[in-house]
Structure 1
Amino acid sequence: MDLLRHLRFFVAVADSRHFGDAARDLGMTQPPLSQGVRRLERQLGVRLFDRDARGVRITTAGQALLPSARELLRQAGELVDQADDLAIPDRVRLGIAGDLEDLLDDVVRALADTGAGVVPTVAGSVELVDLLRDGLLDLAVVRHPGVLDGLAAGPVLILPTRLEPSGSPAGLAQCELPIAVPPRHHQPPAHDQLVDALRRAGHSGDVVEAPGVTQRRALRAAGAAVQITPASARDGIQEGSECPPLRLRVVAPHLGHRRPEVDYRTGIAALEEALTR
């Protein structure tokens, strides 16, 4: 999906001949747009634009590739439209960050209880954001902080956390085992923020990156690591653990990119309530 996203950047800049204007047209800020164009240039092995004080000019190579880029985007749009026609219309495509651990069931159930059919996808937050931008998800619960340009994001929801297993030391400063966490590439800013918080709380900051919930639980069961898992309000907060909270946001496409058959307001409200009750 990164190729299609970066091709959209390329076409937008080619049409406007200005990075700032292209970013505004795409509903995002300029830095990630510029980074995306540079990544596309590296992937293709050609320079697409000449940039200097006078502005942006498309190169000969860029001009030659532009029609093919437009055609690929057109075909991708047709593919998504065809898939939408084949899909069951009242189902909500929900993305869930794997960091939710034991709260995954509560989140999916809360959306299903609204009467909507739910098609869940569990993945890293960066991947979920890309799927939202590409029109392949309707809603997502993602880690905060992260880059959400071009999307509508709700308030930051702060969930208490606790050390698992239950026999772990009460405080992070007394815990000598590493923390089992999702891979950094799932959401780099949130990962780095967590490691900094662990060190401030007296832990070494050592982590074991494990991509799946099952693998993190296996590391915990083997005594090779501990976990910091979200705890709902009804579960209470572990006294003296100083565990950094889990920060989440419910994210949706902007109004102009939403499917009319999905009740976004009800879905967003149900997800936010499930995460904060």
Structure 2
Amino acid sequence: MDFRLVRRLGHFLAVAEEGHFGRAAARLGLSQPPLTAQIQALEKELGVRLLERGGRGTRPTRAGEALLPLARRLAEDAGALEALARELRAGRHAPIAIACVTSALLEELPPLVRAISAARPETAIAVREMDTADALEALRRGEVDIALLRDDRARPPIRIHPLGEDHLLAALPEGHPLLALPDPLPLALLADEAMLMLPRSISPAYADAMVAACHAAGFAPRAVREVGSAMAQLGFVAAGLGVALVSSGMARLRPPGVAFRVLAGPIRAVGVALAWNAEREGEAVPLALSLVEGLFPRTPGKPAGTPPSRGIPGGADLP
């Protein structure tokens, strides 16, 4: 980042917002001639005229108006960078950015965030909800430090630490005839149902697990519609537009209009894993790894972090 350019952009913003060189100079703690020189240097560097004086003061030119939004973002980013540098110089820890899939928001995310906050009370934590594919890209680009996602294999430089097993449940609209049958429900009974599916591009491993489970039950899922998120799946189910296979974690959301049924087997799904980029491994990674070992003991046949069985809305207990 060219801080000299950013500083000059800040001067431009001040003049544009104040509408007057004198008021902008006072706001910046400068005299007017150096401020004018900075604006002229910026206009020369960018090759466009940014401000024009008129009878009612100074205002941005058309080019200046076009550059204002980006200039504000750059100034905000530079301010955030300087603030973070001050925090680090003071010995405080860098903030931790976490990506999290929807189905991990209620079960895996809360204890991890609480444990990080307890271990590093001065560390800021930011959580971004996103699907697995977007979380993997965010890790690759260094936009997040760690991610809670659904995947079962590492893809260098991305590494994963599984947090436990999970199982597929049938999500059915209330009043569906199959709800009259006892648990566990044979998956083959969904062969003729209109299935609401997640695109493979969103979560490849999870989508493959669902399709493989259907094939093992003797049928290919009849996808009536691909939906953009696990939450959309449940919304469409509640609307009576089809049925879905979802992770047991989604049942914790308890959406109205949706009933869940345990499937015979039970049928294993791709569980939640902690993921990170080995090429961008900061202090958040060893901290998170040290915490999840105690938070999510990987007991065979039981999703990690699952509390004792309790009723699923409209259905039986979790496997």
Which amino acid letter does the alignment assign opposite residue 280 of structure 2? H
TM-score where L is the length of structure 2: 0.50
Residue in 2 that maps onto 1:172 = 187
Q: How far off its partner does 1:229 sit? A: 2.6
Residue in 2 that maps onto 1:40 = none
In 2 relative to 1, CA 190–239 (structure 1 residues): closer, same or farther, beyond 3 Å? closer
1:196 has 2:212 as partner: yes
Q: How far off its partner does 1:237 sit? A: 8.3
State which of 239, 252, 264 in structure 1 corresponds to 2:276.
Answer: 252
1:211 has 2:266 as partner: no
Residue in 1 that maps onto 2:72 = none
Give the 3-state SS of the residue equivalent to 1:275 in structure 2. coil
Q: Aligned equivalents of 1:179 and 1:270: distance in 2? A: 37
In 2 relative to 1, CA 186–147 (structure 1 residues): closer, same or farther, beyond 3 Å? farther
Deviation per residue, 1:16-56 (Å, 9 max, x gap):
xxxxxxxxxxxxxxxxxxxxxxxxxxxxxxxxxxxxxxxxx
Specify which structure has the higher proportion of helix.
1
TM-score where L is the length of structure 1: 0.57
In 2 relative to 1, CA 202–261 (structure 1 residues): closer, same or farther, beyond 3 Å? closer
Deviation per residue, 1:167-218 (Å, 9 max, x gap):
6632221123233232221133442342122122134312332113332122
Q: How far off its partner does 1:105 sit? A: 1.7
Q: Aligned equivalents of 1:84 and 1:199: distance in 2? A: 51
Residue in 1 that maps onto 2:7 = none
In 2 relative to 1, CA 261–146 (structure 1 residues): closer, same or farther, beyond 3 Å? closer
Identity of paired residues, percent?
15
Q: Which structure 2 segments of 5+ residues have no match?
A: 1-75, 88-92, 118-123, 179-184, 253-259, 298-302, 307-319
Q: Aligned equivalents of 2:289 and 2:79: distance in 1? A: 26
Quick check: which has more Rg, 1 or 2? 2
Q: How far off its partner does 1:119 sit? A: 1.8
Q: Which structure 1 segments of 5+ residues have no match?
A: 1-78
Which amino acid letter does the alignment assign opposite residue 200 of structure 1? A
State which of 83, 95, 101 in structure 2 corresponds to 1:97.
Answer: 101
Q: Aligned equivalents of 1:186 and 1:242: distance in 2? A: 24
Q: How many residues were matched structurally?
A: 194
Give the 3-state SS of the residue equivalent to 2:271 in structure 1. strand
